[in-house]
A = this chain, B = another copy of it.
Amino acid sequence: MKNDEKPLILVTNDDGITAPGIRALIEVMNKLGEVVVVAPDSAQSGMGHAVTVNDVLFLNEVKIDDGVQKEFQSSGTPVDCVKLAISEVLHRKPDLIVSGINHGSNASINIIYSGTMSAAVEGGIEGVPSIGFSLDNFSWKADFEPSKVFVEKIAREVLKNGIPKGMVLNVNIPNLPLDQIKGIKIARQAHAKWEETFDKRINPHGKEYYWLSGEFKNMDSGTDTDLYALENGYVSVVPVQYDLTAYQWIDKLKRLEDEDK
């Protein structure tokens, strides 16, 4: 970025380009730089790091609100949107990629299933400082006003100081009025999982089908986790890496090499 240039900021999400959460995010980013939005044309929740390899992708410039940002909607996944933006839309590599604000928490193991966070991870892989933001409220009518304060604070900090190579930030915001949010906590990913239950039904043609459902189960009693921070009124920030190597187990697994001899 040259000194006289505004930062170039790419905005995406997984709830779709018309979601109130991305509208709040765009509003904040318009204060910080030149904003380009490339986001899915429909909800893509639960898409994880899916990319579209067996189908075509559409990309169209759109105007959703009165903001100064440029906007494009795509038929692809959140990760497709980041790839399309960098390859086809932006005139240079962005200075920041932000994804969200997700309607619903992406704390703990939810990061694995989250299109919001996968878009941020894709940004990191592309070498761009990237942040995923989520509000702990699934409702379309969630109040994003308190979130905006922390989104701006964290985005400004990252634009100023960057993020170390190889990681992105997973930011989760508690569903509280601003005066009840106690501050920011750097945290680790809590050990938790979804206990699945499938709702089995019969369609009008007599064929069985299932709806995925489930209950979230926190198995972590630590006080340094993202779930603990959220439950105690803090905004959680987890540094997330995409080198998935479990280095601590490499030596232990050498037995596989030995057995092979």
For residue A157, CB closer than 8 A to chain B, the reply is yes
Partner of A244, one of B125, B184, B241: B241
- Nearest-CB residue, chain B, relative to A250: B186
Shortest Cβ distance from residue A171 to the other chain B in the assembled complex, whole angstroms: 10
Chain A 213-230: CB-based contact to B (< 8 A → 1; otherwise 0): 000000000000000000
Q: Which residues of chain A in 195-225 are interfacial with respect to chain B, using CB atoms and an 8 Å cutoff? A: 196-198, 200-201, 203, 207-212
Bound: A118/B46 CA distance, A: 13
Q: Which residue of B lies closest to A170 (CB)?
A: B244
Contact of A46 among B53, B166, B191 (CB under 8 A): B53
A54 is contacted by which of B45, B112, B250 (Cβ under 8 Å)?
Answer: B45
Q: Which residues of B contact A185 (CB under 8 A)?
A: 257
Are A186 and B254 within 8 A (Cβ)? yes
Residues in chain B near residue A46, CB distance under 8 A:
50-54
Whether A91 is near chain B, meaning CB under 8 Å from some CB there, is no
Main secondary structure of the interface of A (DSSP, over half): mixed
Q: Is A40 an interface residue (CB 8 A)?
A: no
- Distance (Å) between the CB of A76 and the closest chain B CB? 8
Q: How far is the CA of A196 from the CA of B52 in the complex (A)?
A: 12
Give the contact stretch, choosing among A29-37, A81-89, A139-147: A81-89
Q: Provide a sorted-by-A list of 13 A–B residue pairs whose CB atoms are within 8 angstroms.
A: A46-B52, A50-B50, A57-B198, A57-B209, A57-B211, A84-B210, A86-B196, A126-B193, A161-B255, A186-B250, A188-B250, A237-B253, A238-B245
* Chain A residues engaging chain B, CB cutoff 8 angstroms: 43, 45-54, 56-59, 79-80, 83-84, 86-88, 109, 111-113, 118, 121, 125-126, 153-154, 157, 161, 164, 166-167, 183-189, 191, 193, 196-198, 200-201, 203, 207-212, 237-247, 249-250, 252-257, 259-261
